[in-house]
Amino acid sequence: MTIAAAPQPRTLPSVPREYLDPPQGLINPTLMMMVAATAIVALSAAGYWLWHWPDWVCFGANVLALHLSGTVIHDASHNAAHSNRIINAILGHSSALMLGFAFPVFTRVHLQHHGNVNDPENDPDHFVSTGGPLWMIAARFFYHEIFFFKRRLWRKYELLEWFLSRMVVVAIVMAAVHFDFLGYVMNFWFSPALVVGIALGLFFDYLPHRPFQERNRWRNARVYPSRILNILILGQNYHLIHHLWPSIPWYRYQATYWAVQPLLDAKGSPQRLGILEGPRDFWNFIYDVFLGIRLHHGPDDGAGDRAAKDAPQKSDGTTGH
C-alpha cells in the first residue's frame, strides 16, 4: 500500500537582499534627484530675475522642485537616501529647508508615525490626516513641531539643528523684507510649498492609511499598483512596502512589490486605492475633502471588514488570505 506524501506548505517569497541594503556608491537616484531639485530652483530664480520668464513657469518649476525634495527628506529620515551618513544628513537638511521643514523634527516625528500607525494618541500623522478638511492638510504639518516639543523627541544636537534651521528661514524672510523681494518669497517659495504640502499630505498620509483604523503591520497602509503613479508620485502608491521595509529606497518600491505580492496576498494586505469601491467610500472621501472631522474609535471598529474588502480577490470571489 502506497502512502501519499503530505503536501508541502507553499513557500512565500521574501524581499531580495539587494533591495534591503542601503544604496551603494557616491551617486544614486535620490542624490541626483536632490541635485535636480536644487538646479530647478536656481534656474527658476534666474529665469524670474534675469530672463523674465512667465510667472507660471517659475511657479511650476518650484512646485516640481519641492515635490522632488519631499521624497528626498522622506528617505533621508530613514537613512535610506545615501549610505554615507554625512551626505544623507546634508540631503535631509537641504530638502527640509526647501520645504520649510526642520529635518530633526521631520525625522523624529516620522519615526513616531512608523511606530504607532493609526494610533490616535501616538501617531502624529493621524491628526494630519483626520484633523480637518483635506484642503487644509498642509497647514496641519505644523503640528509636527508641536508634537516634537511636546514629546521631547530630540536627541544629542538635534535641538540646536532645529534652531539653526529655523534661523535660516527667518534670515531669508528678513532679507526679503529688507531687500524688497518678499513678494517673490511668498509667491514662489511659500505658495509652491503649500501646493506640495497638500500633495505630500494626500499621498504620504491620507490615501495610504485611510480609513485610519487598522494597526496590523500588514494592513495599516496600502498599495495601489500603477506604473504611471509610480513615476508621478515617486513610488508612494506602494506606501505599504515602505512601512514594512523602511530601509528600501523609493526607487525600489515597485520592484519590491512585484517580488512580494504573493506574501501580501497571503497577509490580506490592502492592494487597491479604496475610494471608488462603492458609494460609501466615495462619499466618505468627498466628506474628508471638504470637512474631514472625525471622532476617534477603537482600533478594531470596522477594521476587519474593511481589510477583508480591500484584500485582493480570487476568481471565485473569495479573498486572498
Going by pLDDT thresholds of 50, 70 and 90, the confidence category of residue 156 is very high
Residue of 201, 87, 193 whose CA lies nearest to 133: 201
- Contact of 174 with 183, CB cutoff 8 Å: no
- What was the pLDDT predicted at 18? 83
**Radius of gyration in angstroms for the set of CA atoms belonging to the chain, rounded to a whole number:** 21
CA–CA gap between residue 289 and residue 184 (Å, rounded): 29
- pLDDT tens digits, 184-241: 999 999 999 999 999 999 999 999 999 999 999 999 999 999 999 999 999 999 999 9
* Cα-Cα end-to-end distance for the chain: 36
3-state secondary structure of 79: coil
Q: What is the pTM of this model?
A: 0.87
Mean pLDDT of 10-21: 80
- Contact of 125 with 210, CB cutoff 8 Å: no
3-state secondary structure of 319: strand
Residue 304: pLDDT over 50: no
CA–CA gap between residue 88 and residue 82 (Å, rounded): 5
> 149 φ, ψ to 5°?
-80, -35
Beta bridge partners of 293: 131
Mean pLDDT of 293-298: 63
- What was the pLDDT predicted at 10? 64
Contact partners, residue 137, CB within 8 Å, separation at least 6: 128, 129, 197, 198, 201, 202, 205, 206
Mean pLDDT of 141-168: 96
Between 297 and 279, the more confident residue is: 279
- Contact of 77 with 113, CB cutoff 8 Å: no
Query: In terms of C-beta distances under 8 Å and separation of at least 24 residues, what long-range contacts does 259-263 make, across chains too?
Result: 259/13, 259/15, 259/16, 259/19, 260/13, 260/14, 260/15, 262/12, 262/13, 263/12, 263/13, 263/14
- What was the pLDDT predicted at 296? 56
DSSP state of 9: P
Mean of per-residue pLDDT scores for the chain: 89
